[in-house]
Every structure is written in structure tokens, then in C-alpha cells.
Chain A
Amino acid sequence: DSGVTQTPKHLITATGQRVTLRCSPRSGDLSVYWYQQSLDQGLQFLIQYYNGEERAKGNILERFSAQQFPDLHSELNLSSLELGDSALYFCASSVGAGAANTGELFFGEGSRLTVL
């Protein structure tokens, strides 16, 4: 158990719909990262938050948005869903975001999204 909690574990929805994925980082971790894993794209970095502020942005679509709340949990919102958005969405956390942080990311078990 990594200590990172993601809900829901599985989600099936229809094209055009909107879903919210939730992540609770490990206790004490300030950074949250979102990754998308699809069969044809591998593990793609979407976005990073550190202590409530956006720190880095990767290949995140405009239809997707995220935020990190004061209690450090994070949500990833996916809207106007398309078939190609079907993927495993991972949240990961780490202690900090500065130069001293050389440690690994701790991953949740992922949220598997299926868009029909």
C-alpha cells in the first residue's frame, strides 16, 4: 500500500459526459502528479500541483482540468469525454518539489476510465 488513495477505481461513462477523479496523497506529501496510461501512449504526464499551486503542465487536454485543495487532496476533471479518453489515470505524490526532493513518486492504484 503506497498510501495514495484514488477513487473511483473503475468508472464507465458515455461520450460527451464529465467525470471527476479524486486523489488523496500520502500523509505529509505536498506534491500531487496526474498521469494518463493508455495502450498506445504509454504513461503520459498530465499535471503537477505543489501545495495547492500548479507547478508543471504536461500533455493535458483543454477539456481536462485539475486542482489541489487546501487539505492537499486533488481532483482531475475530464469533460466532453471521447472514446480515446479511455485509460488508466494515476495519481502520484511526493514529499516536496524542491531540489532536495530526489525521492520516488508514490502511485495510487489508478482509476480505470472506460468511455463508451
Chain B
Amino acid sequence: AQKITQTQPGMFVQEKEAVTLDCTYDTSDQSYGLFWYKQPSSGEMIFLIYQGSYDEQNATEGRYSLNFQKARKSANLVISASQLGDSAMYFCAMREFSGSARQLTFGSGTQLTVLP
């Protein structure tokens, strides 16, 4: 079963508008972390934001915020005031804290295009 699901293969947003990228996850762990990464066309993976399962407040980092709804197992990324440089592939990922492994499991990604 998919642990991380990103249902939007592609999204378009007008410059300066806000956009929400969807992510749902599946885990039986009580302790886990959720991450968002950005991959521009150049290929590198850039960390954007992190949310722990026990964090009561939604995480925010500048123009990025994470809309964490634990009961619905969703961790949507909200980008406010979109910029042309935000055009990239965005990946949601999860780390489960049971066991000793600490790898991230990634979703299939959402390609965001910001229109001028």
C-alpha cells in the first residue's frame, strides 16, 4: 500500500496567489514526521518544512506552511504569494520512528507551475 499519496500530478497557479499541494499518508505509528521537499529543474532536493506527529501547531517557514490534519492523515503544503521561482516538483515524505531505520518514504510528487 502507498504510504504517501500525492494526487495532483500537476498544478498551475498565478503569480502572487496562494496554492495548496495535497498529501495524505498512511501509518500505524504514533510517532512520525512529515516533510516537504522542492526539486527544481536543476535536480537538487531542497528541504522546505517539517511537521512532527506530536506537534500541536502547524509548521510554518516563511511563505510555506503545512496544514496538518492528523485525524484525516493529511499534510498539505500551502505556498503563499507564489513566485516564478516556485515552479518545481514538490515531494511529500514521511519518516516513521518505530524501529531503527530513519529513511524517508516519498510520494510521487506534484509539478507546480507558476504563471506570470
Asked if B35 and A104 make an inter-chain contact with CB atoms under 8 angstroms apart, the answer reads yes
Partner of B50, one of A31, A56, A97, A104: A104
> Which bracket fits the contact residues of B?
20 to 34
- Given A31-B102, A48-B103, A97-B102, also A102-B43 (CB < 8 A): no
- Given A102-B33, A104-B35, A104-B50, also A110-B44 (CB < 8 A): yes
Interface segment, one of B12-20, B62-70, B75-83, B105-113: B105-113
Asked if B97 and A103 make an inter-chain contact with CB atoms under 8 angstroms apart, the answer reads no
Partner of A45, one of B52, B91, B103: B103
> CA of A103 to CA of B102 in the docked complex: distance in angstroms?
10
Asked if A101 and B35 make an inter-chain contact with CB atoms under 8 angstroms apart, the answer reads no
Asked if B103 and A102 make an inter-chain contact with CB atoms under 8 angstroms apart, the answer reads no
- Tell whether B71 is near chain A: CB-to-CB under 8 Å: no
Give the number of chain A interface residues (Cβ < 8 Å): 29
Q: Which residues on the A side are within 8 Å of B102 (C-beta)?
A: 31, 48, 55-56, 94, 97, 101
- Given A45-B105, A102-B50, also A97-B100 (CB < 8 A): yes
Q: Which of A59-116 contact B (CB under 8 A)?
A: 88, 90, 92, 94, 97-99, 101-110, 112
Q: Shortest beta-carbon distance, A66 to chain B, in Å?
A: 13
Asked if A56 and B101 make an inter-chain contact with CB atoms under 8 angstroms apart, the answer reads yes
Q: Shortest beta-carbon distance, B107 to chain A, in Å?
A: 8
Q: Which residues on the B side are within 8 Å of A101 (C-beta)?
A: 102
A: which residues have CB within 8 A of B?
2, 31, 33, 35, 42-43, 45, 48, 55-56, 58, 88, 90, 92, 94, 97-99, 101-110, 112
6 extra interchain contacts, Cβ-Cβ under 8 A, other than A97-B101, A105-B47, A109-B44?
A43-B106, A45-B103, A48-B102, A55-B100, A98-B100, A112-B43
Closest 3 CB pairs of A and B: A56-B101, A107-B45, A43-B106
B: which residues have CB within 8 A of A?
33, 35, 37, 43-47, 50, 52, 91, 95, 97, 100-109
